[in-house]
Homo-oligomer: A and B are copies of this chain.
Amino acid sequence: MAKIKCVFSYDGTNFSGLQIQPQVRTVQGELEKALAKIHKGAHIPIHPSGRTDKGVHAKAQTAHFETDYRLTPADWKRAINSLLPPDIHVDKTEQVPDSFHARFDVLEKEYRYYILNDAEPDVFKQNYLYHYPYQVDIKKMQEAGKFFEGTHDFTTFSSAKADIKGSRIRTLYEVSCQLNGSEIEFVLRGNGFLYNMVRIIVGTLLDVGRGKQNPSDIAALFAMKDRQAGGDTLPPQGLYLWQVRYTDGSS
């Protein structure tokens, strides 16, 4: 048995998310269809680093699978890509030790969120950035971002639908934003993210940018442990799983 790790990108526009589901088009479904073709119809499950929602993109999602077939990493990449639709692409494959697990060994994930901050929408970016036409104060948003860094209970800033039995404590290493022309780029890095957490944090930062909240209010919002106190959940098309880093130093 060989364990193969894949790093892959996808345009989430036409997928009902990553996780396989009956009747709908998913990233996992397409990858497993390709692997089944290679393995003469046998079902080869993939184990991704985590899920992404409908419409969310990935610049570098990671998954592993196990196989009896002996191919070089370059041949795995070529074989899988030749069977994938154009909105998924395997960028890297490597053989990893049996002990590697694409979900359990995650050290850090990086997400980015992109906003088109212009009065006019852009037809070519509708599926790739969230159009937010209001003027925002970037400095205040940067200041507010600092309050999200560190170890916190993120109940206020995650979906009420998130697993209620598990811990809601996570550590964020970076919550930053910058303006490039008419685009705002948000970078969030942490040891884990709860359901909708990136989209709610960025929604809250936009509230700060428009003056609905102050950077110094964030600590009080954390203390409330109430999803109602957080900002809106922004739409999926601005969100990208940007990179997954592992305990073995790989990404």
Contact = CB atoms under 8 A, between A and B. Distances in A.
Contacts of A11: 123-124, 126
A11 B123 CA distance: 6
A76 interface: no
A89 B123 contact: yes
Question: What is the count of identical protomers in the complex?
Answer: 2
Contacts of A86: 121, 123, 126
A128 B123 contact: no
Interface string A105-123: 0000000000000001111
Interface string A76-96: 000000000011110100000
Contacts of A126: 11, 86-87
A86 B123 CA distance: 6
B124 A57 contact: yes
Interface of A: 9-11, 57, 86-89, 91, 120-124, 126, 128
